[in-house]
Structure 1
Amino acid sequence: MNEIAHLGALHTIAQLSVALIGFSGIVVALGDRAIGSWSQAERLQLYALVLPPATALAASFAPELLATEIGSHEEVWRWSNLVLGLLHLANFLPFFIIGLRKGGVTPMQMALSVTGLTAIAAHFLAAAGLVGWLELIFLAGLLQQLGVGLYNFILLMGMCLD
């Protein structure tokens, strides 16, 4: 089995992801209304609150799991970047299709979308072996996903407390 660098950081990111996902239940409860009565922007923010941290949670275990079968340290991180890139793309596309087409996206969400697209591209380039810093790209992508969730948590909390 391959020794994984940054295992503590990966586990911390997983714990933060679980906490953020758990707080989404509190946000919904504080909303004091059924999800069906939420506006399009609120539903989009709830989506962006839950899925990016879920992506970070799932992907944070990829290097450790892949290391059980892959002997090369570089290959573990290349495959991990591919996993994160695919998960990130899968949760970004609905946000892009719904949010950007129908409006209701804040300037900060737009900026986070640009960083998200950049991260997705970096993950695929890292997976293809076209760039270095495989571990840094992977960790930065996980943190970007947490940042998206945290920002949308703050937005939704503001709406629920109004």
Structure 2
Amino acid sequence: MIASPRASRRLAPLGLVPALLVLTGCGLFGPASYEPVDRSIEVDAGEEFELELPAGVSRGQSWSLADPRPDRDVVRLVGRGRDGGDSGDNDGGDGSTQHFTFRGVEPGSTKVRLLYCVNGDCGGEGGTPPPSGAPLPTATSTPGSEPAYYVFDITVR
């Protein structure tokens, strides 16, 4: 049985769905995205990846790249930004995210260290890291109500 041209036009978009799913998984529509629980990340040289982090404006959540900075021979920061969310979250957040985009440069390993602050309070003036005598903890879980460092181990193949 031969399908009519009209039926073929209706079915053609269905063939695109699996192809789009495959291409999306390859990062064709943007860099691979990782969250705070993804602490060990492997990428290829030349590949971009993004750390996507909760940053509810209503809760005063913010992130900044902390020292020591990642090895620039292994990864480079190529962008950062914030995306709005919806104000309906039950946990007091607003669904906003902050993201840092990096590119793998050469094979090797490095650490990306991010400082998580709540309500601009990281123990120092103006939401800056505290003086060396008052260290913040390194977080081992998802962001909560306390400032902390989040360390991501990055391997470039």
Q: Which has the higher strand share?
A: 2
TM-score by length of 2: 0.22
More helix by share: 1
In our comparison, the structure showing a higher alpha carbon Rg is 2
Question: Greater RCO between the two (CA within 8 Å, min separation 6)?
Answer: 1
